[in-house]
C-alpha cells in the first residue's frame, strides 16, 4: 500500500541553525500538508500546498518557515533559524484532492529536537 | 478555531462501549476522525460529511449533527487494538484541518 515517507526520523539541531525536513507524498496525491505536534499535545496545522503554492497557512507558520516542492517527488519544510520551542514532531500528510471530504494520509513524522 | 473533544480520557475493558464527542463553534463542512498510537502518526478512521455521507475504513461508527455542529465517535465492543488517542478534525470552508485536543482511550483485557 502506498504511504507517505519522511526523513530523517529524528533531527537534533542547535538553536539558530537551519533545518530541512523532507517528505515524499503518495505519488498520485496533489495536496500536501505539514503539521506539528509538541510532545503530549494535539496535532497543529502548519500549511497546505497545492500546485506549487501555499493554499493555506496557520499563525504558527511565520517567516521562519518555508515549504518547497523542489522536484516531482519531494516536499520540504525549512525552518530558517530554529528556536527551542520548535522542538516537536513534524508530520507531513498528503491527499488525493484538496476537497473537504478527502482523507489525509500522514507520514511517520520527524522528531525535531532543538538544543 | 479548534473543535472541543470530550472526555479527555476513558478507560474500558474489552467488550465495553464508549462515545467520544467533538463539537465546534463554527459551521462545519466535514468532521474527520483519526487515531494515533503512542509514537506513531495519526491514522485516518472516518470522514463525516454535511448531508450524511460517511467515508471510513474500519468497523467504528460515528454520527454528525450539522445543526449542533457536533460529531460523536462510537467504540462498540472495544478491542485491545482500539487503544490510542482519538482526534477529531474539523473542516469549514478552507483547506485547514483543525484538530481537537484528543481523547485517550485505554482498553484493558
DSSP A29-78: --EEEEEEE-TTS-EEEEEEEETTEEEEE-TT--TTEEEE--SSS-EEEE
The model's confidence at residue B56, banded by pLDDT at 50, 70 and 90, is low
- Residue B55 is predicted with a pLDDT of 65
- Residue B28 is predicted with a pLDDT of 78
Q: Does A105 touch chain B (CB under 8 A)?
A: yes
Q: Is B80 helix (H, G, I), strand (E, B) or coil?
A: helix
- Does the pLDDT of residue B95 top 80, yes or no? no
- Residue B33 is predicted with a pLDDT of 93
The model's confidence at residue B12, banded by pLDDT at 50, 70 and 90, is very high
B94 vs A78 pLDDT, higher one: A78
Q: Which residues of chain A have pLDDT under 70?
A: 99-100
For residue B41, give the nearest of A31, A102, A109 by CB distance. A109
Instruction: Name the average pLDDT for chain B.
Output: 87
Distance from CA of B44 to the nearest CA of A (A): 7
For residue B99, give the nearest of A42, A56, A102 by CB distance. A42
For residue B96, give the nearest of A43, A48, A105 by CB distance. A48
- Does the pLDDT of residue B58 top 60, yes or no? no
- Residue B26 is predicted with a pLDDT of 80
- Beta carbons within 8 Å of B39's beta carbon, 6+ residues apart: none
* Contact state of A100 with B30 under an 8 Å Cβ cutoff: yes
pLDDT in tens, A36-64: 999 988 899 999 999 899 998 999 999 99
* Contact state of B55 with A103 under an 8 Å Cβ cutoff: yes
CB contacts of A59 in chain B (<8 Å) are none
- Does the pLDDT of residue B59 top 80, yes or no? no
State what percent of residues in chain B have pLDDT above 90: 49
List the single best residue of B26, B30, B96 to mutate versus A (max A Cβ within 10 A): B96
Task: Using only the alpha carbons of chain B, give its radius of gyration.
Answer: 13
What is the DSSP code (8-state) at residue B82? G
CB contacts of B102 in chain A (<8 Å) are 42
Which residue is closest to A55 within chain B, CA to CA? B95
* Contact state of B97 with A33 under an 8 Å Cβ cutoff: yes
* Contact state of B94 with A41 under an 8 Å Cβ cutoff: no
Measured CA to CA, the distance from residue B64 to residue B67 in angstroms comes to 9
The model's confidence at residue B48, banded by pLDDT at 50, 70 and 90, is confident
- Residue B96 is predicted with a pLDDT of 79
Query: Pick from A57, A33, A32, A114: which is nearest to A80 by CA?
Result: A114
- Residue A72 is predicted with a pLDDT of 78
State what percent of residues in chain B have pLDDT above 70: 92
Count CA within 13 A, CB hemisphere, residue B92.
11
Query: Pick from B41, B30, B16: which is nearest to B105 by CA?
Result: B16
Pairing outcome for strands B4-6 and B18-23: antiparallel
Amino acid at each position: 500500500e502506498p504511504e507517505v515517507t519522511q526523513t530523517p526520523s529524528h533531527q537534533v539541531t542547535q538553536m539558530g541553525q537551519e533545518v530541512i525536513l523532507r517528505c515524499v507524498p503518495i505519488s498520485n496525491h496533489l495536496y500536501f500538508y505539514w503539521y506539528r505536534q509538541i510532545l503530549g499535545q494535539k496535532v497543529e496545522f502548519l500549511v497546505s500546498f497545492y500546485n506549487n503554492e501555499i493554499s493555506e497557512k496557520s499563525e504558527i507558520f511565520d517567516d521562519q518557515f518555508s515549504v518547497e516542492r523542489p522536484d516531482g517527488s519531494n516536499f520540504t519544510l525549512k525552518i530558517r533559524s530554529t528556536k527551542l520551542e520548535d522542538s516537536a514532531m513534524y508530520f507531513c500528510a498528503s491527499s488525493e484532492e484538496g476537497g473537504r471530504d478527502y482523507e489525509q494520509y500522514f507520514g511517520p513524522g520527524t522528531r525535531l529536537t532543538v538544543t | 478555531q479548534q473543535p472541543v473533544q470530550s472526555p479527555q480520557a476513558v478507560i474500558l475493558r474489552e467488550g465495553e462501549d464508549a462515545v467520544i464527542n467533538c463539537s465546534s463553534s463554527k459551521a462545519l463542512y466535514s468532521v474527520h476522525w483519526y487515531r494515533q498510537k503512542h509514537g506513531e502518526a495519526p491514522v485516518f478512521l472516518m470522514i463525516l460529511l454535511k448531508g450524511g455521507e460517511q467515508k471510513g475504513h474500519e468497523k467504528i461508527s460515528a454520527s454528525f449533527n450539522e445543526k449542533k455542529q457536533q460529531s460523536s465517535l462510537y467504540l462498540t465492543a472495544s478491542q485491545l487494538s482500539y487503544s490510542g488517542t482519538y482526534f477529531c478534525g474539523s473542516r469549514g470552508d478552507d483547506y485547514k484541518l483543525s484538530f481537537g485536543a484528543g481523547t485517550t482511550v485505554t482498553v484493558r483485557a
